[in-house]
Amino acid sequence: MINVRGWGLRGEIAKTVAEGARKSNVLDKIVAEKEYGIKEEKLESPLKSGLYASIFYAIEAIIPLTPYCLMLLIKIALPLSFIATTIMLALMGFLIAIIAEIKVKK
């Protein structure tokens, strides 16, 4: 259970919020905003998000395979694949944090 008192609400207000949240999805919205800093207005359409995710997954699948497609020796291709994958995942995480307006440390 989430401690809404830690949010600076008085006891009665916290109780009212908790009771009202049980009846609808208000608690989900409150937690998303208070705990993760995600506001509903900032969320995009699911179709657009799915399209972006598909494109990124395709890129993420192609990059690690590129050294092998270039017919490099396995001793060279494997480390290059690991390095490229590490850099790509760090870059994607950074970009997602910027796009979602979330602190990069999170």
Query: Which has more pLDDT, 16 or 53?
Result: 53
With 0.85 as the threshold, say if the pTM is over it.
no
Token pair 């290059």 is found at: 80
Task: State residue 4's pLDDT score.
Answer: 53
On the 0-12 / 13-18 / 19+ scale of CB atoms within 10 A, 67 is buried
d(C-alpha 68, C-alpha 78), whole Å: 8
Task: State residue 77's pLDDT score.
Answer: 94
Task: State residue 71's pLDDT score.
Answer: 93
Q: For residue 8, report the phi and psi dihedrals to the nearest 5 degrees.
A: 90, 20
d(C-alpha 83, C-alpha 62), whole Å: 14
Task: State residue 27's pLDDT score.
Answer: 67
Task: State residue 52's pLDDT score.
Answer: 81
On the 0-12 / 13-18 / 19+ scale of CB atoms within 10 A, 4 is buried
Question: pLDDT tens digits, residue range 31-90?
Answer: 777 777 666 666 667 788 788 888 888 888 898 999 999 999 999 999 999 999 999 888
Residues found in the chain: 106
d(C-alpha 62, C-alpha 58), whole Å: 6
